[in-house]
């Protein structure tokens, strides 16, 4: 599996800035992997249970061969958008890519 070096998305202070609803929505399709392979519980959207940001950060910092490719790809793209260049308009990003 290709490995990604997430520079920003793994930081707890960045994860806390993402709305709880959006973060849970991102992780929900991978709930089986996170619970069974990484022992990480995703709280229900309607619960008051806090998301374990430290645990999530550790998981994101240490992808392994069981990490779903789709999750790794999504995290890589989100991490790229957290750069100043990533905040440009998508059309501008396409023009400047080549």
Q: Output the six-digit token pair for 60.
A: 């994101």
Mean pLDDT of 61-83: 82
Does residue 22 contact residue 78 with C-beta atoms inside 8 Å?
Answer: no
Quick: pLDDT tens for 31-46.
Answer: 999 999 999 999 999 9
Of residues 85, 77, 86, 94, the one with CA closest to residue 4: 77
Sorted by where each begins, the domain ranges of the chain are 12-96
To the nearest whole percent, how much of the chain has pLDDT over 90? 43
Number of residues written out for the chain: 98
Whether residue 95 is predicted with pLDDT greater than 70 in this model: the reply is no
The rounded mean pLDDT for the chain is 81
Position 17 scores a pLDDT of: 87
Q: What is the reported pLDDT for 38?
A: 96
């Amino acid at each position: 599996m290709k490995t990604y070096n997430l520079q920003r998305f793994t930081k707890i202070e960045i994860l806390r800035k993402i709305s709880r609803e959006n973060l849970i929505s991102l992780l929900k399709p991978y709930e089986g992997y996170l619970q069974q392979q990484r022992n990480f519980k995703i709280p229900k959207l309607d619960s008051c249970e806090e998301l374990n940001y430290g645990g999530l950060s550790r998981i994101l910092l240490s992808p392994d061969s069981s990490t779903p490719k789709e999750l790794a790809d999504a995290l890589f793209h989100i991490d790229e958008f957290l750069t100043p260049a990533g905040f440009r308009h998508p059309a501008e990003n396409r023009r400047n890519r080549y």
